Structure 1
Amino acid sequence: MGSDQLAQPVTILKGVGAALAEKLAKLHISTVEDLLFHLPLRYQDRTRITPMGAIRRGDEVVVVGQVALADVTKGRRRALIVRLGDGTGSITLRFFHFNMTQKNQFRKGALVRCYGEARPGASGLELYHPEYSLVSQDQTVSVDDHLTPIYPLTEGLTQNRLRQLIQLALAELQKTEVVDWLPKSLFPNLPSLKESLQLLHEPPPDAPIDELTRYKHPSQHRLIMEELIAQQLSLLKLRQQHKHHQAPVFKATGQLGQQMLARLPFPLTGAQSRVIGEITQDIQQPSPMLRLVQGDVGAGKTLVAAIAALQAIEAGYQVAVMAPTEILAEQHYSNFRQWFTPLGLDVAWMAGKLKGKARQAQLERIAAGAPMVVGTHALFQESVEFNKLGLIIVDEQHRFGVHQRLSLREKGQQGDLYPHQLIMTATPIPRTLAMSAYADLDTSVIDELPPGRTPIETVALPDSRRDEIVERIATACYQGKQAYWVCTLIEDSEALQCQAAETTFEDLSVRLKGLNIGLIHGRMKAQEKAEIMARFKANELQLLVATTVIEVGVDVPNATLMVIENPERLGLSQLHQLRGRVGRGDQQSYCVLLYHSPLSRNGKARVAVMRDTQDGFQIAEKDLELRGPGEVLGTRQTGLAQMKIADLVRDQYLLDEVNIAANQLLRHYPHHLPPLVDRWLGSADQYAQV
């Protein structure tokens, strides 16, 4: 079978029909080679039998012993208890799901081989629901001849079935070579790709399981490097292509910006001035700016974007500002109107809810050249025609995905010229992730908060003190303050979150009579959400019960108290975003983390971080450590979340080496890039469509 055969669809393998192929497709497996690159998450050692007397708590073991007794207990939960002994000691098997046929198999004296994890139980060490088989007296007890891989699965697919398929793929690999797109000169001391794949799917019994568990085995190292390089290349390629494009050069006097700043009640911070300088330098170049501006909650990113926008407008170009939600887009619309209308500049608006004549009127304003256009992703609907788009400002870009940002760029293309792009985020991104997730962008950081912002005091309390908190909210609201009550749930289900928010809203409405309480959740129409938010902003509502939909950008300076239920269920960066909705004015603000006891060790660590620091970058680093990159970036759209073997936190020490290797490949082996990127990112590579 030639290596081109590895590119054949999985359906050429024995026993793989359309239904199984569909399940495999959910794991991004469509070819024989994809099976080989579906790598184990971890391993179990079933290559040796452990004497029962030597088992320690937490060990995953194969044991063989004779049945001493088998009994059904009727305690709190009905269970089948089987006691096994092997002369060195004994162990108990415990089954909660069983039938009587199963019970009758365990006759006294029968020989049983099982595999499971030893946990402390009522009768000493126990194996809960172990895998087991009965061994006849004349049979030799078999053990596996290699470590057992545990793979990522999808519904309807078992470990055993997937292992069988990977065995078939490995059999094909024996007959052929898999194309290695990394030149040997890059990593002369690492095993070949073929050796690495074989070893990782079938580690021999003497393979160092400790090294494999810590992902420090040379074969893992080889594949981790390749995956990180593919990831990096996809972004560097995007950056390279982007830099080859032409962009308008904005020669502006800065007069409009000066006029706007003169009207503000406060000066810019040093960090804002520095970042404006970096942007100004970019937009005076003939290649398109691609700059990410990171700034903690309330650092004044929008003001920096406004000054950039005025330079584009002064040079005769249009600017588009895109935000991920209508609430946030409306807030930008209101800010830009407040700043730009006194300068005689028209600000147009585009969102999904605009219909009929109102929509038509805005489309005409945009086509006629309204200097500033604010909206949601509705900005890249086909009917929206820009007149002369020179700068795109995207807020919270990781909510959109790279391809959406690119499609807006295509809309702004005029002849050979592409618009400049400025991306803003209030989610501080640790250096590790910025290097990898945003390698196609230059980065600026606004690391200074405007003067006059009082730090938010954060306290963590168990939900047994809920009544106390309700009273405290009542007192604050009767004194003219405003508060948020945020509901979260462990299930990632919008329906259940909305239900929790509705129940809390009803409960608080009964207990806090005399207060005007609003409710916002993800299932409400955008119009309804906007109306409630506007009422809260105007202080017609004193308390807002919400799901996490309020996390980004909403600005109500009079809101000084926030309660977050079940904070242990959110990421730190998300908690930090939520907390940043209070403390927007000069009054002391408070955030109460209302957790459910008992907290896990990880939960305690996270709550402690929130209590101890307000530095978004520190929080993001800690979040990355505790939860991993896919979660920190908030979505799966980065192409990073679903890595096959690499892990940006664990493997960050390799990133400098990866950078060097990726640049060498770009320079000397450009024809290797498409197949290498395709092997690891496949359809996740939005960048290929650039």
Structure 2
Amino acid sequence: MSGGKSLAETPITALKGVGDKFAQVLGKLHIATVQDLLFHLPLRYQDRTRVVPIAALAPGMDAVIEGEVRAADVVFGRRRSLLVKLQDNTGTLSLRFFHFTAAQKNRFARGVRIRCYGEARRGAAGLELYHPETEIVGAETSDRPDTLTPVYPLTEGVSQTRLRSLVQQALAMLEHGVTELLPTDALPSTLRYPLAGALQYLHAPPAGADLEQMAEGQHPAQQRLALEELLAHHLSLLELRRSHSAVAAPPLPGDASLERDFLARLPFSLTGAQRRVCAEIAADLEQSRPMMRLLQGDVGAGKTLVAALAALRAMSAGAQVAVMAPTEILAEQHRRNFCGWLEPLGIGVAQITGSLKASERRRQLAAVESGEAQLVVGTHALFQADVSFRNLALVIIDEQHRFGVRQRLELREKGAADGVSGRLQPHQLIMTATPIPRTLAMSAFADLDCSVIDELPPGRQPINTVAISGERRDRVMERVQGAVAEARQAYWVCTLIEDSETLQAQAAETTASELAEALDGVRIALVHGRLKPDEKERVMNAFKAGEVDLLVATTVIEVGVDVPNASLMIIENPERLGLAQLHQLRGRVGRGSIASHCVLLYGTPLSRNGRARLQALRQHSDGFAIAEEDLRLRGPGEILGTRQTGEIEHRVADLQRDAHLLPQVQRIAASAALTEDIRRQLIARWLQNRPRYAEA
């Protein structure tokens, strides 16, 4: 390494065996420098430091075996394979190879001693190793390693062997400098582990290292790096927030008389929580920097009304508002609510969804472009190229986790009018009825201000939740018959593991037919994702109008359906859904003043995890308590929807496991010891300058 460069500045091509072409392959793993390679950490480890006696092997165990070849034969079963019998002084084992050459077969001569490594599996004749790595034990046999063998994330064109070899070169250069960016006194005393030592340990743990502790991410070396990684992500979000604050937004002071007129027309008063949140939003909208606020509220807490008041403030200042929903059903429900509230005040509402006929779409687009439509409700169709706003100043996004982040960015880029000092950004209000646990909000939404509506409107009845085995389905049908006899309505939700709308539709159709045969005089309708939007709307309208007693549906009714007379919800196979989704489905009942019930009709046998989820749903009615339990049982990727958007990709840290580090992360981030240069280097080290759209 020349000129005293740090490893962050040393290109990967400085390593032996890395030319420009291979450097491009490593680039797919975000490895451009030697430091990037050192921070490309193992997924897990193999213990090749000790030979395991054959008798001690168990299925699923990775192990090094040493023994003598007793036989090697080509056998013909469903597939031709080479079967090698290996024996040590404790027992015998088979090695099986489906891909082999004559030369490989000849290596395994009777009496030859070999060492092999692989995973033991149950075979036709006892335990077998499939395609193990093998070497003949002789004078030139390499010594067994004295450290655990790392297994790295790979990409096409990179093998474990080659990557391990490069890491060994990089570890030999550690003394030249991986910069300690965190001052020692900023670290908690238990995590004052030297950075170079932590990297050395994690790439090459010594023989005898506690594999269980490392698998759980609890080794101090892992925790030291987890803290730094969480800090880098946190700093990147704060940076994003700063960049939002640096751009201008149109101040929206609002019109008090228009707001009073709006509230006077409502048949109810706002709850204290709604008033508090409205004040927080109003204070944001008066500023000349973009509001970035996450509005959380349980199902039925009145988020849409709060959004309408925010929209009214923008429109009274002569601006336009866009409301984006994830489904056409929810977009239609929002359109109706907003029309009911705003049209009496002379405010025009437009709708843009994918199912509009061409002529209607042209008419709606013209109303948006001219500014005649001050409020525009729609699905992802809102950010298509032909949608042009005259003066967009507020974007309201419902159920934010259902949209890819780029989609949200594209809507924001439609911007407001050109300001004096360049383009103005619209304000953003992001709503979710999926409560996000505090630990996740601290990390994943550090760039957003959070408001929580933690109070339900008066008169709401608690929902009684029971879990019943599918074997007692007849009793559940009797409950439906009884509810309909009392002029109540009910939902029957079908769930399927398969992510296929066709299969889900078939399951719902079958269930609807069975129920129609079993239930006498009950008017049954069916709604699923395969129906055309206008057909779906026709069915939903009939249900709302009381012309349908029992609505059989897939999970498409999870959001956006409000039928106060529906007081019974049956969810079939609830163990297949996450807690947050079950809580949302349950929230479709209990929307009136009638006592409501939710029946979880589970399949048997029920797994321990499934039992824990259903128990949590029965015990808790508070969405935040359910979200915390969902986080514990399923992890953050499911809750935030990041499996779709790839927003949270931690290499060492785990938001759930390492939540206890987040207060330290916030304290260090606020510390004066972190200069701008250190902040920049931390973000570059851990995010490797990848674009981060975190909750844009």
Corresponding residue for residue 501 of structure 1: 508
* 1:413-445 deviations in Å (ceiling 9; x for gaps): 331543322221101111111111111111111
User: Residues 345 and 445 from structure 1, CA distance in 2 versus in 1: closer, same or farther, beyond 3 angstroms?
Assistant: same
Which letter does structure 1 place at the counterpart of 2:379?
T
Corresponding residue for residue 396 of structure 2: 393
User: Residues 21 and 500 from structure 1, CA distance in 2 versus in 1: closer, same or farther, beyond 3 angstroms?
Assistant: farther
CA contact (8 A) 2:118 2:129 kept: yes
For 1:636, what is the secondary structure of its paired residue? Answer: helix
Quote the Cα distance in structure 1 between the aligned partners of 2:118 and 2:572.
37
Deviates more, 1:447-456 or 1:196-205: 196-205
Verify: 1:592 aligned to 2:594, yes or no. Answer: no
Quote the Cα distance in structure 2 between the aligned partners of 1:157 and 1:568.
40
Verify: 1:619 aligned to 2:626, yes or no. Answer: yes
Aligned length: 680
Deviates more, 1:270-279 or 1:587-596: 587-596
CA contact (8 A) 2:461 2:590 kept: yes
1:344 to 343, 346, 350: 346
> How far does residue 323 in structure 1 lie from its aligned partner after superposition?
1.4
User: Residues 96 and 428 from structure 1, CA distance in 2 versus in 1: closer, same or farther, beyond 3 angstroms?
Assistant: farther
CA contact (8 A) 1:10 1:30 kept: no
User: Residues 661 and 480 from structure 1, CA distance in 2 versus in 1: closer, same or farther, beyond 3 angstroms?
Assistant: same
For 1:324, what is the secondary structure of its paired residue? Answer: coil
> How far does residue 375 in structure 1 lie from its aligned partner after superposition?
1.6
Deviates more, 1:134-143 or 1:166-175: 134-143
Corresponding residue for residue 147 of structure 2: 146
For 1:686, what is the secondary structure of its paired residue? Answer: coil
Which letter does structure 2 place at the counterpart of 1:364?
A
1:6 to 7, 11, 22: 11
Verify: 1:268 aligned to 2:262, yes or no. Answer: no
Quote the Cα distance in structure 2 between the aligned partners of 1:9 and 1:686.
32
CA contact (8 A) 1:453 1:586 kept: yes
* 1:585-616 deviations in Å (ceiling 9; x for gaps): 22222222222222222121111101111111
How do residues 213-612 of structure 1 correspond to structure 2 at under 5 angstroms?
213-366=215-368, 367-414=370-417, 415=419, 416=421, 417-477=424-484, 479-509=486-516, 511-512=518-519, 515-612=522-619
* 1:133-185 deviations in Å (ceiling 9; x for gaps): 5866888796433212234467x789xx2343243244256357576483555
User: Residues 171 and 17 from structure 1, CA distance in 2 versus in 1: closer, same or farther, beyond 3 angstroms?
Assistant: closer
CA contact (8 A) 1:235 1:439 kept: yes
Which letter does structure 2 place at the counterpart of 1:229?
L
Deviates more, 1:346-355 or 1:535-544: 535-544
Corresponding residue for residue 76 of structure 1: none
Quote the Cα distance in structure 2 between the aligned partners of 1:141 and 1:173.
21
CA contact (8 A) 2:226 2:652 kept: yes
Which letter does structure 1 place at the counterpart of 2:373?
A
User: Residues 193 and 361 from structure 1, CA distance in 2 versus in 1: closer, same or farther, beyond 3 angstroms?
Assistant: same
For 1:564, what is the secondary structure of its paired residue? Answer: strand
Corresponding residue for residue 650 of structure 1: 657
How do residues 39-58 of structure 1 correspond to structure 2 at under 5 angstroms?
39-51=41-53
Deviates more, 1:110-119 or 1:548-557: 110-119
For 1:358, what is the secondary structure of its paired residue? Answer: helix
Corresponding residue for residue 78 of structure 2: none
Quote the Cα distance in structure 2 between the aligned partners of 1:590 and 1:71.
65
Quote the Cα distance in structure 1 between the aligned partners of 2:498 and 2:16.
35
Quote the Cα distance in structure 2 between the aligned partners of 1:595 and 1:516.
25
Corresponding residue for residue 182 of structure 1: 181
Query: Which structure 1 segments of 5+ residues have no match?
Result: 73-78
Deviates more, 1:656-665 or 1:562-571: 656-665
Q: TM-score scaled by structure 1?
A: 0.84
User: Residues 677 and 594 from structure 1, CA distance in 2 versus in 1: closer, same or farther, beyond 3 angstroms?
Assistant: farther
Quote the Cα distance in structure 2 between the aligned partners of 1:350 and 1:430.
33
For 2:643, what is the secondary structure of its paired residue? Answer: coil
Quote the Cα distance in structure 2 between the aligned partners of 1:68 and 1:471.
68
CA contact (8 A) 2:15 2:169 kept: no
How do residues 182-221 of structure 1 correspond to structure 2 at under 5 angstroms?
182-184=181-183, 187=187, 190-191=192-193, 193-221=195-223
Which letter does structure 2 place at the counterpart of 1:165?
L
User: Residues 409 and 120 from structure 1, CA distance in 2 versus in 1: closer, same or farther, beyond 3 angstroms?
Assistant: closer
* 1:304-333 deviations in Å (ceiling 9; x for gaps): 112222223333333222212211111111
User: Residues 387 and 604 from structure 1, CA distance in 2 versus in 1: closer, same or farther, beyond 3 angstroms?
Assistant: same
> How far does residue 351 in structure 1 lie from its aligned partner after superposition?
1.9
> How far does residue 646 in structure 1 lie from its aligned partner after superposition?
0.9
Corresponding residue for residue 165 of structure 1: 163
Quote the Cα distance in structure 2 between the aligned partners of 1:242 and 1:594.
47
CA contact (8 A) 1:113 1:141 kept: no
> How far does residue 649 in structure 1 lie from its aligned partner after superposition?
0.9
User: Residues 180 and 526 from structure 1, CA distance in 2 versus in 1: closer, same or farther, beyond 3 angstroms?
Assistant: farther
- CA-atom RMSD in angstroms: 4.4
